[in-house]
Amino acid sequence: MIRSEKESTLHLVLRLRGGAKKRKKKVYTTPKKIKHKHKKTKLAVLKYYKVDSDGKIERLRRECPNETCGAGVFMAAMQDRQYCGRCHLTYVFGEKD
């Protein structure tokens, strides 16, 4: 008799193992934001270098002089400044009043 009591309690415990109550699905009031599509340009590296007729390579943009960036990190060229996107170094040139 004692053995059958233990087995019955075991079955009871197994039956209660279902988990939490199912939640209702949310109904959103506003539509989701449309994500920006990334504009991909093929061989974008060609913007930064120019190859002469004799095979000499010329860099079209300035490389960042900061020692944390190293070679190959170019600075963005704006009308009034040059900016490094990696270390945030900025050179501003313009007329001083």
Residues 6+ apart with CB under 8 A from 93: 80, 81
Site of tokens 């233990």: 6
Question: What digits encode the pLDDT tens for the residues 51-62?
Answer: 999 999 998 999
Q: Judge if pTM exceeds 0.75.
A: no
Question: What digits encode the pLDDT tens for the residues 44-85?
Answer: 888 888 999 999 999 899 999 999 988 889 999 989 999 999
More confidently predicted of 44 and 4 = 44
* DSSP codes of every residue in 6-37: HHHHHHHHHHTTT-SPPPPPP--SSPPPPPPP
